[in-house]
Amino acid sequence: MKIFLTGATGYVGSVVADKLQNKGYEIVGLARSEESEARLREKNIEPLRGDLKNLESLKTGARAADAVIHTAFIHDFSDLDGAVETDRAATAAFSEALAGTDNAFISTTGSAFLGDTGETLADEDFPYDRNSPFFSRSEAEQDALALARKGVRSIVLRLPPFVYGRSGSAFVPFLINQARENGAANYIESGAKKVSAVHVEDAADLYLLALETSTAKGLYNVAAENVSFRALSESVARLLDVRAKSISTEDAKRQFGALFGFLSISNQIDAGKAQTELNWRINSGRTILDDIENGSYRKFLD
């Protein structure tokens, strides 16, 4: 079975690729540069030259594959709407290529556009926050789900803000580097806001379950735990041997810049549907706090 995988050299996509290969799948990976092509070949992945803005390359990859897993996204938080426009155009290209095939199309989104969920664990029916600065990505999510009306087995995996492990992710290294630069691991006000998290290995397992479970369809939240920003900062502080410190909202806006919106809200999601329908289980055996202090993020001490 041949899988066309976007983001195959990226953080989540590379782990998905490892797990696909371990189960004997043939992978064609989207490669936007000679360097990416070389990295894919080193992993025995067939490269297809193109990128998310080269729609013909996306159609070519999709038409030649038995399923598409789409993990790529332009993580430019200073122009999120532009990144979403690119993603929506990519989904439209996939729709054209896959219509009527009943092939699986597994797309990726994030939960930030749900806004501040407070103490609620938001399920897949939780309403979008139209006032969220990240609202445009909810429209991309709806685009992907709509492929089901065109004869595609469309699945969307909604990742939490904190995907961690293998010393990567968007946010954990950011918090570590900010703490190093400022001499303190700063959190906003009381730090009581809570966020969902999942280890990248566990998230990647769910992509395979979605692919291999013929009844999988629609939207699935992906989360394994919830943690406060104060606890995250305290773990970073122990890692770097600095203090954890509360700062004001205004100071946080200046310090965190484009990431302030992600780091200033409670954003908790419920993954019960994936556990029930796809029998997804957490196997990584390490929490985000443990991984920061005692696991893969100790690399940042080197």
Span 24-49, pLDDT tens digits: 999 999 999 999 999 999 999 999 99
Q: What is the mean pLDDT of residues 246-258?
A: 97
pLDDT, one tens digit per residue, over 103-125 is: 999 999 999 999 999 999 999 99
Q: Which position has the higher pLDDT, 302 or 105?
A: 105
In order of 22, 30, 64, 146, 282, the CA distances from 25 in angstroms are 8, 16, 14, 27, 23
Task: Determine whether 151 is exposed, middle or buried from the number of CB atoms within 10 Å of its CB (0-12, 13-18, 19+).
Answer: middle
Q: Specify if 294 maps to a domain.
A: no
In a domain, 190, yes or no: no
Contacts of 279 (CB under 8 A, 6+ apart): 209
156 domain residue, yes or no: yes
Q: Is 44 left (phi over 0), alpha (psi -120 to 50) or beta?
A: left
| Count: domains in the chain | 1
Nearest one of 223, 244, 220 to 292, comparing CA atoms: 244
Residue 54, domain member (yes or no) = yes
Q: What is the mean pLDDT of residues 70-87?
A: 92
- What percentage of residues in the chain have a pLDDT greater than 90? 96
User: Exposure of 90 by Cβ count < 10 A (0-12 exposed, 13-18 middle, 19+ buried)?
Assistant: buried
pLDDT of residue 297: 98
Query: Which CATH number covers residue 31?
Result: 3.40.50.720
pLDDT category, 130, cuts 50, 70, 90?
A: very high
Asked whether the beta carbons of 123 and 221 are under 8 A apart, the reply is: yes
Residue 128 has which token pair? Answer: 């979008």
Question: Cβ neighbours of residue 74 under 8 Å, at least 6 residues apart?
Answer: 52, 82, 83, 86, 87
Q: What is the pLDDT of residues 231-243, one digit of tens each?
A: 999 999 999 999 9
Is 48 contained in some domain?
Answer: yes
CB 245 within 8 A of CB 185: yes
Q: What is the pLDDT of residue 190?
A: 98
Look at the pTM and tell me if it is higher than 0.85.
Answer: yes
Does residue 173 form part of some domain?
no
**pLDDT score for 78:** 83
Whether 77 has a pLDDT exceeding 90, the answer reads: no
Strand partners, 155: 106, 218
pLDDT tens column, 200-226: 999 999 999 999 999 999 999 999 999
For residue 76, what are the domain limits? 2-115+123-163+198-223
Instruction: Give the pLDDT confidence score for residue 285 in this predicted structure.
Output: 86
